[in-house]
Amino acid sequence: MRDFVLDQPGGRVVFGAGSLDAVPGEVSALGAERVMLVNDRHSRTTAETVADRLPGLVVARVGHTATHVPERLAADAVRLARESGADLLVCVGGGSATGLAKAVALETRLRILAVPTTYAGSEMTPIWGLTGDGRKRTGRDPGVRPVCVVYDPVLTLGLPPALSAASGMNAMAHLVEAVYAPKVSPLTVTAAIEGAGALARALPGVVRDPADLAARDEALYGAWLAGWVLGTTTMGIHHRICHVLGGRYALPHAATHSAVLPYATAHNRAAAGPSLAPLARALGAEDAAAGLWDLAVSIGAPTSLAAVGMRERDLDEAAALVAAERPVAGVRDLLRAAYAGARPSQESNEVTP
């Protein structure tokens, strides 16, 4: 008997090498006449290309972003959007650029056209996040989900191997947690398994040769599915932990996901039951948690919280902060395992959530 909830995303997706060329047509199809461009430092050249192709339409630009969207940065961008009379936000860059555009959309109700350049997946979701006073606030609002997303794998060719690997594991985390989400729809699970397979196939090639366009195409395809999945269901203990660690200790977002994921997956083995088996197969592994650890090691992505800058003395506080949001047994052990970074064994961390 089926019993599921699907938060059906409604946006348009344009995917393919060279699809940056489609941006002017998409802007015009949206009827926009006053564009505010938001880009991170890396994407300045791409944003300039976009601006050149939108002659007379760009009325404001923000070229500075920061991870987890600091409230002050968001307030400045909201002010600029209002003063410029923008009628569309076009963001180019990683999850931080998308996040800043979402923060503006949250206040102004402007629509977003997103051009992602990492594997974060934010461009497909209604989830916004803002950080202030060492705390990250997040929420869901359909109005911040980009109405159009242009995926061009060419834009990811410059993403360095270490960032590609960590960002790819961040996408993988969305796929893993979808598989065992409560009331997850069969469509979401199918997309999650497909995405996990695509990332597992692509990431070793991306790291070996960052300019391999076929591997980049496959990785971005997996990242699109990861974003789609994230936008259609709810996430579990892994995302809750990364949310707390990112907000409280300013750890690097994607790398933290990579470090925690094998241990969160091991932690969830008992509760997830057979739903992790197809995921393990997609990873080419017998056990999903060990398979994720092996993948991360093979692509040089972090597998320990110590490696991403977490201090051992903060682990207990972090466990308490996670448990304060919703009490879950075994979080302290999970964090300790993630801090140590050893390959998860079948027996380890089998704690019922």
Summarize as ranges the residues that interact with ligand NAD (CB under 6 A): 40-42, 67-68, 93-97, 99, 117-118, 120-122, 125, 127, 129, 155-156, 158-159, 163, 167, 170, 230, 253-254
Nearer to ligand NAD, 170 or 303 (CB): 170
Q: Are 67 and 122 in contact (CB under 8 A)?
A: no
C-alpha span between 294 and 169 (Å, rounded):
12
As measured in angstroms, the least distance from the Cβ of 173 to ligand NAD is 9
The three-state DSSP-derived secondary structure of 10-23 is CCEEEECCCHHHHH
Nearer to ligand NAD, 71 or 312 (CB): 71
As measured in angstroms, the least distance from the Cβ of 294 to ligand NAD is 22
Cα R_g (the chain), whole angstroms: 19
Q: For residue 93, which phi and psi values (nearest 5 degrees)? A: 145, -160
As measured in angstroms, the least distance from the Cβ of 124 to ligand NAD is 8
Angle at 183 (CA atoms; ends 334, 350), nearest 5 degrees: 25
Nearer to ligand NAD, 123 or 287 (CB): 123
C-alpha span between 279 and 61 (Å, rounded):
42
Structure tokens belonging to residue 233: 């269901």
Nearer to ligand NAD, 120 or 178 (CB): 120
Nearer to ligand NAD, 156 or 233 (CB): 156
Nearer to ligand NAD, 167 or 348 (CB): 167
**135: helix, coil or strand?**
strand
Nearer to ligand NAD, 157 or 277 (CB): 157
Q: For residue 66, which phi and psi values (nearest 5 degrees)? A: -145, 150
As measured in angstroms, the least distance from the Cβ of 74 to ligand NAD is 12
**250: helix, coil or strand?**
coil
Helix (H), strand (E) counts: the chain: 14, 8
Element housing 100 (H / E): helix 95-108
C-alpha span between 13 and 126 (Å, rounded):
15
Provide the CA 133 distance to its chain's centre, in angstroms. 23
Angle at 57 (CA atoms; ends 53, 63), nearest 5 degrees: 80
As measured in angstroms, the least distance from the Cβ of 341 to ligand NAD is 20
Element housing 225 (H / E): helix 213-232
Nearer to ligand NAD, 33 or 212 (CB): 212
